Amino acid sequence: MKLIPEWKDHSYCLIAWPCNLDLYGSQINKAKIEIANLANQISEEEKVNMYCNSADYRECTTLISNKSISIIETKLDDSWMRDIAPIFYKEKNSLNAISFNFNGYGKYPEFKNDNKVSEFICSNLNIPYFKNNLTLEGGAITYDDKGNLFTTESVLLNPNRKNESKTNIEDQLLKLFDLNKIIWIPEGLQGDDTDGHIDNIFCPIGNDKYLLAYTNQNETRDFNVLDKSKKILEDELIFQSPKNQIIQIPLPSEIYINQKKIIASYINFYFTKNSIFVPKFNVKEDDEVYDIFQSVFIDKKIKMVETSHINYGGGNIHCITMNIPKI
């Protein structure tokens, strides 16, 4: 059983339609327009399945202009497909999946529908799967092509996930995915509603390269966390191979919507075969990040997409998408 890095070819992109008024509030309509725009753009490069509640079906079909996008009705509590979709892996020459437990990040009462979504997707697409009782969201892990899985202690070891010990988690994941190493980072960004998902701060991108968020705001919690993370990752990755390279990506300037500070990161992006879809925040760092991404992904188009109102709800491009690898 081998995990398949995100930069490999995809057969589908899965997205969930926003529906949680408690999170999005007055910004939900703007978030829907942003998600429709993102789905339309991704669908120019790969198949997109959009999942929505029955009550939102008509609205969804109206806002989505590309009629090649499949709109599928299912019961949803929220829109974070990365966290509620199955984790896909390769076994021999076939695609399989694991349905991990989802408990609403241990803090939201409405999660039972979302906890059934991964099984629904697998049944709908005829992908063999099995269930695992470990509470694990897709945004809580990332992995490279060298047998390394990366995660944060603040999520998987959080008492609200009700997992067992760190040793138990490691034993399960190492065996499930035939991993060489699990590399633990202490925590994620301050204020991240997920308790610190790694997909907001770190991402392997292939070719011995890894992206890591950073801030030059010295003595802040995020500065200290990201600096400590960099040292841990350097110790692990450079020890494995001097070819490994960590590339720092600045965090955007502070962004407020409705007087709420959004927890934003450019690391929360999506791969397609020909493009990289990166959040755009209309701040000074946008141009700098575009140039860095273009220099790193020399064979891809960098497409910056405005997603601040999606981010208002708690996540961004990577959080609302899940790629199904092509085997």
Fold for the domain defined by 2-325:
L-arginine/glycine Amidinotransferase; Chain A (3.75.10)
What pLDDT is recorded for position 286? 98
What pLDDT is recorded for position 219? 77
What pLDDT is recorded for position 197? 98
Could you tell me which residues come within 8 angstroms of residue 211 by beta carbon, excluding any fewer than 6 positions away?
Answer: 202, 203, 204, 205, 246, 247, 248, 249, 267, 296
Query: In this prediction, what percent of the chain has a pLDDT beyond 70?
Result: 100
What pLDDT is recorded for position 244? 97
Q: List the one residue out of 48, 78, 72, 45 whose CA is nearest residue 60.
A: 72
pLDDT tens digits for range 281-310: 999 999 999 999 999 999 999 999 999 999
pLDDT tens digits for range 73-115: 999 999 999 999 999 999 988 999 999 999 999 999 999 999 9
Q: Which amino acid does the sequence have at 110? A: E
Helix extents (H) in the chain: 21-24, 28-42, 57-63, 81-84, 117-125, 153-156, 166-177, 221-240, 285-296, 308-312, 317-320
What pLDDT is recorded for position 217? 87
pLDDT tens digits for range 134-177: 999 999 999 999 999 999 999 999 999 999 999 999 999 999 99
- Is pTM beyond 0.85? Reply is yes
Of the two residues 312 and 327, the one the predictor is more confident about is 312
What pLDDT is recorded for position 10? 98
Is the pLDDT at 1 greater than 90? The verdict is no
Classify 233 as helix, strand or coil: helix
Q: Taking all residues of the chain, what is their mean pLDDT, rounded to a whole number?
A: 97
CA dist 179 to 56, 145, 148, 245, 317, Å? 40, 10, 6, 21, 27
pLDDT tens digits for range 179-229: 999 999 999 999 999 999 999 999 999 999 999 999 998 879 999 999 999
